Structure formats: C-alpha cells, structure tokens
Chain A
Amino acid sequence: MEKIYLDHVATNPMHPEALEAMLPFLKEDFGNPLSLYPPGAKAKEAIEGARGSVASLINAKPNEIIFTASGAESNNFALRGIALALQNKGKHIIVSKVEHHSILNSARFLEKSGFAATYLPVDKSGLVDPDSVQKAITKETVLISIIHASPEVGTIEPIAEIAKIAKKNNIFFHTDAVASAGNIPVDVRELGVDALSMTAHQFYGPKGAGALYLKEGTRIVPLIYGGIQEGGRRAGTENVPAIAGMGKAAELAKRDMGKRSDYVKTLRDKLISSVLSKITNVYLTGHPEQRLPGHASFVVEYIEGEAMLLLLSAKGIYVASGSACSSKALKASPVLLSLGIPSHLAQGSVVFTLGEGTKEQEIDFLIETFPQIISRLREISPYSKGWEGTEDGTCTAKK
C-alpha cells in the first residue's frame, strides 16, 4: 500500500539537493570550522555560505543570522536572551495564547524569574487583534513576541501591523516564523521585526538546524556559554552538515516558493471544500483565507482526533491531531480552546498539511476515504447522540 504523508507541518522529507550539500561534511570534509588549517577553512566557508543563503531568504544581512539547533532553541534564545538583556529597562513581556510551547514555556520561565507576562487572546479564526497588543503595553514592556503562522490552525497573523505598534512604543519585537519561513514570503524588513525564529526542516532542509534572525546591534544574553562560535552568542561546535543543508534548502525555497505554494494551495482548497461538503458537523479551524498554503485543519464533531489518526494511519495516510505534543499528551489543544472551540469539539481535531511531494491522487484518495472513516467512527461513537456536562470542561456522552 502507498503511504500518504500529510503531516508536513510536523516535518518534511529532505530535498535531495539539500542532502547532497550535507554529505561532504559528514564524510571527508569533517573539519572543525574554528581550525586554522584547510579542512577547518572549508567547513567555515560552508557555514558562511549557508548564512548568506538563509539571510537572503528573509532579506536579512548575513551577520544578522545566528545558527541554532532548532526552531525551539531560536524561540527560547530570543525570548529569554532578549528579555534578560533588557530587564533593566522593564520586566514585562507580551505573547499570544496561540504561541508554540517553546515561547509559552519560555514566558513562564521568565515569570518565575521576576518578569510579568501578558498572554493575548485571539479571535475565533486565531487572529491576534493589533489593538489588544497596544492595550497590553505598559511602561514596563520590553518585549513582544507573536507567532507568524500557526502550525495548528494555519492562521497567518498581521505581523507587520503589530510590529509597527511595537516600534511606535520602542519595544523589541520577535516573531516565531518556524511554520512560515521558507513556505511563504518572509521579509524581515517588510515585516519590521527585530528578531525572527526559523528552522530548516520546515522547508525541506535537515533537522538539527535552526536560525535566529537578530537585527544588527541587538544585545542578547546567550543561552549557551563557551566558545566564540556565532560571534560568541551561541557556543558549541557548529553542526556543519546540517547548516550546509539548511543553506541549500533556503536557496531552493527562495527559488521555488511561488511554485510550491501555488501547487499546495490548489490541492488544499480542493481538500477543504470536499471535506466540508462531504461530511456533516465538521468545521474548518483557523482563518479561511489568511492561512498557510498547504494547511487544512478541522474539528470533527462526535469523534476523538486520535481515533481518526489511527484509522487513517491504517489506510496509510499520516496526519496530525492538534499539535504534536498535544497529540502525545491526549489533551485538548490549548490553541484550539483559545479560539473558543468547546473542549468536546477540540478533541476531534485533525490537521492535514500538504507538501511539494503531495500528489493530487493522494488528496482524491483521502477525500474518498476520510468520510468513510468518519461514518464508521460515528456509528461506534458513544458521543453520537451529543454531549453534556461540558461547562466545567469535561465531556460526557448524552444518554
């Protein structure tokens, strides 16, 4: 049976050219970039080349790119490193309720370290209201961080508008662009952001390579002390193969973005309209238009997400339910709850994310198979007659 991978927001297969770019540094060109002899220089050259490609993808300067090991590290680095660097100016930060855990948990860490944090609500499509950002600003606010695009519901936030508010109030602004960078146009100058997180495996690069864009001249407290790598801001011998792969993937993403985006968008729209027309009591989550091009997310009434995942998996279709961690923890996604989706509905979350390798016949097969799976699950669902007792957040089947 053919396997159909529709979880591109979790990770992506590597582009063959990105893999090719990595191989020499896993084999004969194994030198340490800090070494002064030729193999070291070759590794250093690969890193600087990749820095240029990553910078070019987001219209930054090469010296504004700091390589990290992941998007989560970039987010931790930005939030904790910037807040700590600015703590003499004030001790209040603003984030939204739909941030990734690497932002939310960093904010909680800062709260334990004496900062105050505001968690902004979102509307039913997952959008942060720029006015709410303005209203949350106090004299103590030093940092605002709002996600660019949600991996769970696909909504793209009005980052440029929020960045303007931050700038007007002289507050540092970071965005988590892990799900967006490399997939949709991300220009740090146009967006007006001071820092931005991204990761290679979201655009067909390897895992283990992330980057933080940090506007030239920004002070940041390192997370990792040690050597002089990344200008003394992130110690540790660089993951040269992964960085080389990220550089190549960034180059390809810049070249192919329009083509990739148009392709997955057509398939996504077909999938969304078919699911909504063929299945009753199913709702699209996130913004209907302002969303990632390959992202189709739904909540299906009377069914648990895990059940859908397992039956789809049995058919060779791999998808997600809520965020990857929520999926494992079998909890209703806090992101879905913050969109005002009731907890019983949030349990029925399913997220399809398409990539450049997704074929139209795969989407056709899904469109044919998914309604059958839903019917089967609803036949055996203890919740098929509805829900009750949901006021306290618990769900029981209606008798």
Chain B
Amino acid sequence: MAIAEMAGREKLLKFLDKSIAADATTDIIYMMCPMHLLTLQERIKELKVGQVLAILTDYDGALEDIPAWCGKTGNEFVGVLESPDYYSFYVKKLKE
C-alpha cells in the first residue's frame, strides 16, 4: 500500500482516546467477515437519524471496511476506540 494511501486511511480512521455515548451497542467479538458489515447494515436501520451505534469487534478488517461503508452509505464515521482485545467503532446515522 502506498504511503499516501495509508496516510489517507489513517485520517479516515479517526482513533478516539475515550469511549463516547452510544444509543445502541452491538457486540460481534469473535465474529469474522462479513458479520461486521451485515450487523452494521441491520442495526443502523433500527436507529433514528442523529443516533449513534457502537460496534464492538476484534476483526481487523473492520478498520478499513467500516469507515469505507460510512463513506459509501452517507453515514458518519465518528471514530474508533482501541481496547486491548477489541475495537469499538462509532457510527452516526445521518439518513434513513
């Protein structure tokens, strides 16, 4: 991967230094690809515009996929918090 591309991805990632309040949390730790995207797609439907969904996962591919999914679907990728065993991704619903 080109350095410029990596830098771009890191910028997209937005690492957080503390957790933020979420309106719903879904725990898919130990679930592999593509459960992070399927769950995200399903759970976001249940939220209202402006609400935040937290997804807990230990799947590394989510670092690339979740921000990209947000970009593609027009939702906001709020950021990701790294814990020793898993990541917490925060996604804000921007449209129905």
Contact = CB atoms under 8 A, between A and B. Distances in A.
Interface of A: 85, 88, 217, 219-222, 225, 228, 231-233
A88 B38 contact: no
Given A88-B85, A217-B27, A231 B32 contact: no
A232 B27 contact: no
Interface in B33-89: 34-35, 38, 85
Contacts of A217: 27
Contact of B35 (A88, A219, A228): A228
Question: Majority SS of interface residues in chain A?
Answer: loop
Interface of B: 27-32, 34-35, 38, 85
A326 B35 CA distance: 41
A267 to B, nearest CB: 46
Contact of B27 (A88, A219, A233): A219
B85 A231 contact: no
A224 to B, nearest CB: 11
A302 B30 CA distance: 53
B85 A232 contact: no
B29 to A, nearest CB: 5
B30 A221 contact: yes
Nearest to A81: B30
A335 to B, nearest CB: 33
B32 A219 contact: no
Contact of B38 (A85, A221, A228): A228
Contacts of B30: 85, 219-222
Nearest to B28: A232
Nearest to A227: B34
A269 B91 CA distance: 62
B40 to A, nearest CB: 13
B29 A219 contact: yes
- Rank and list the top 5 A-B pairs by shortest CB-CB distance, nearest first: A232-B35, A232-B31, A221-B30, A219-B29, A225-B32
